[in-house]
Amino acid sequence: MVSKSPSSLVVTVIIALLSLGVGLVIGYLLRPFPENSKEHKSLEGWINDVEGAGDDKLAALEMLRDCGQLAREDPVISKHLIESDVEACRALTCDIPYPRTYVIYKLRGEAIDLDGKLDEKAWKNVGWTDSFVDIQGRGLPSPRLETKVKMRYDDSFLFIGVFIEEPDIWANVSLHDGTVYQDNSFQILMDTRQSNVNYKEITINAKGIISDLMMTKAYVDSGEPLTFWESDVMSEVHIQGTLNNPKKQDEYWTIEMAIPFTAMYQGSGASLNRSAPEPGETWRANFLRAQWPIKNFGTYYEKLTDASTEWWVWQSPEVINVHLPERWGLLQFQDTAINSTRFQTSDRWITTNALLDTFAALKAFHAVTGRYTDKKELLHLPPYIVSGKCLADLSIELDWSGFKVTAKPLGKNKEEGHTRTDHFLWFGKEDMQYF
């Protein structure tokens, strides 16, 4: 038997301790993330490719190892990480959220008498829209006064019923196509084709005065209001209280409107040249309530100029600008028994959103660089557009006007969708018309 000297034992122990320390350090740096996490799979790929990695990848890898868990423990930072995870999941599942929706049921033997009161069976049988919210959306208080809408239709008209809670009912404008929006008013915005062009705007005040126009496109897209367009709407207002009487507190006012489809379809293109919607047809729409600040002096109202106007909407665009049709809600016409169906989703929804998101990315790129690009890798696009799981293809073509985007959906015999520099969005044949 060979005996070891005390000095060799000391050396052996020191080497063993050093090896253990190095092992612990390496183990910490290469500690695994949870197997079901996005970081685990991403870092696994990076680690496997570490020999060919550049300094930027190595720096990012080291950063994630050092602060990944700390970032998740910070409530502000973790919110952004969750949002990134949601976007990654959408790229996998193609689950693109819908805005607010409402199903409009066709009248079946029921009648609506336009008196402004909303007391007919035709109204009582259907539900209200969701209550209105602040135009800026999330994180802001709910409106202090209730606003909600009901809708029905027949072969000729879209019927709209509105409830507006209001303790001080007043109106000044008395001229058709005057500045009705300068009163406390209710506004309807509808895009019959979901094309972002030639959409309609109808505004009414408590006097029942109407202002109507067609927008060639949104103001941010250099659109123009065509005030010569007439909706031919028939309407009545009922006031539970008194108009322009500061001495008495009011309760609410209600509106009944009948809008002919022939007027609403004007400018929608040859593909929608009809007198009534087909079952399942879906429009973009929003509703806006303007609530101006006033002071009641007992004998008269005074409109305040040093206070902010409140804007309440059905579907929030999350900015103080309701003229963003791509951010409105959806109305769907159904010729079925009342409450017998839910809103039916569309196989064009993913394609539509891909076109809208690519349009926004191109505009953002142009705002920074002064030019457009046909290279998708230079754009800040949501992952679902480029994942290959939600679209068959998306291409950008530059032309004299700027660009044209084409999105090809997955599946056979499905029409491609398109959008271009002026925000016009269409499927199949391009047939934009004014009249």
Residue 318 sits in a domain of what CATH number? 2.60.40.1190
- The answer to whether residue 121 scores a pLDDT higher than 70 is yes
Q: What pLDDT, on a 0 to 100 scale, did the predictor assign at position 412? A: 87
The CA distance from 225 to 233, in Å, is 18
The count of structural domains within the chain is 3
Domain-embedded: residue 360: yes
Final residue belonging to a domain, choices 309, 334, 359: 334
- The answer to whether residue 195 scores a pLDDT higher than 80 is yes
276, 334 Cβ separation under 8 angstroms: no
**Domain check: are 87 and 51 in the same one?**
yes
**Domain check: are 361 and 408 in the same one?**
yes
**Domain check: are 294 and 375 in the same one?**
no
Rounded (10°) angle between helices 55-73 and 75-93? 110
What's the whole-number mean pLDDT along residues 390-412?
A: 95
**Domain check: are 254 and 286 in the same one?**
yes
Domain-embedded: residue 353: yes
Taking alpha carbons only, the member of 423, 426, 388, 429 closest to residue 409 is: 388
Domain-embedded: residue 21: no
* Upper half-sphere CA count for residue 338 (Cβ side, 13 Å): 17
Measured between alpha carbons, how far is residue 23 from residues 15, 43, 63, 232 in Å? 12, 20, 20, 81
Final residue belonging to a domain, choices 287, 307, 334: 334
Write the single-letter amino acid at 315: Q
Q: Which residues form the domain of 186? A: 101-334
**Domain check: are 318 and 357 in the same one?**
no
Give the sign of the dihedral formed by CA 318, CA 322, CA 326, CA 331: positive
Which of residues 343 and 18 earns the better pLDDT score? 343
Among the residues of 125-220, which ranges form H helices?
none
Among the residues of 30-132, which ranges form H helices?
38-48, 55-73, 75-93, 121-124
Q: What pLDDT, on a 0 to 100 scale, did the predictor assign at position 89? A: 86
Q: What pLDDT, on a 0 to 100 scale, did the predictor assign at position 35? A: 45
Q: From the CB of residue 102, how many other CB atoms can be counted at a distance below 10 Å? A: 21
**Domain check: are 139 and 81 in the same one?**
no
Of the pLDDT bands very low, low, confident and very high (cuts 50, 70, 90), residue 71 is low
**Domain check: are 224 and 242 in the same one?**
yes
Q: From the CB of residue 212, how many other CB atoms can be counted at a distance below 10 Å? A: 21
User: By percentage, how much of the chain surpasses pLDDT 70?
Assistant: 80
* Element containing residue 430 per DSSP (H, E): none
The CA distance from 23 to 407, in Å, is 52
Q: What pLDDT, on a 0 to 100 scale, did the predictor assign at position 271? A: 59
Which of residues 198 and 413 earns the better pLDDT score? 198
Final residue belonging to a domain, choices 308, 334, 360: 334
Domain-embedded: residue 32: no
The CA distance from 128 to 131, in Å, is 8
- The answer to whether residue 207 scores a pLDDT higher than 70 is yes
The 10s digit of each residue's pLDDT in 228-237 is 999 999 999 9
Domain-embedded: residue 13: no
Domain-embedded: residue 249: yes
**Domain check: are 118 and 200 in the same one?**
yes
Domain-embedded: residue 137: yes
Which of residues 31 and 226 earns the better pLDDT score? 226
Residues 6+ apart with CB under 8 A from 75: none
372, 403 Cβ separation under 8 angstroms: yes
- The answer to whether residue 16 scores a pLDDT higher than 80 is no
Among the residues of 74-220, which ranges form H helices?
75-93, 121-124
**Domain check: are 202 and 263 in the same one?**
yes
**Domain check: are 277 and 400 in the same one?**
no
**Domain check: are 161 and 75 in the same one?**
no
The 10s digit of each residue's pLDDT in 299-332 is 999 999 878 999 999 999 999 999 999 999 999 9
Of the pLDDT bands very low, low, confident and very high (cuts 50, 70, 90), residue 433 is low
Taking alpha carbons only, the member of 174, 230, 229, 227 closest to residue 204 is: 174
**Domain check: are 300 and 355 in the same one?**
no
Taking alpha carbons only, the member of 301, 387, 390 closest to residue 348 is: 390
Q: What pLDDT, on a 0 to 100 scale, did the predictor assign at position 407? A: 97
Tokens of 59: 């720096």
Domain-embedded: residue 38: no
The 10s digit of each residue's pLDDT in 57-68 is 667 666 666 666
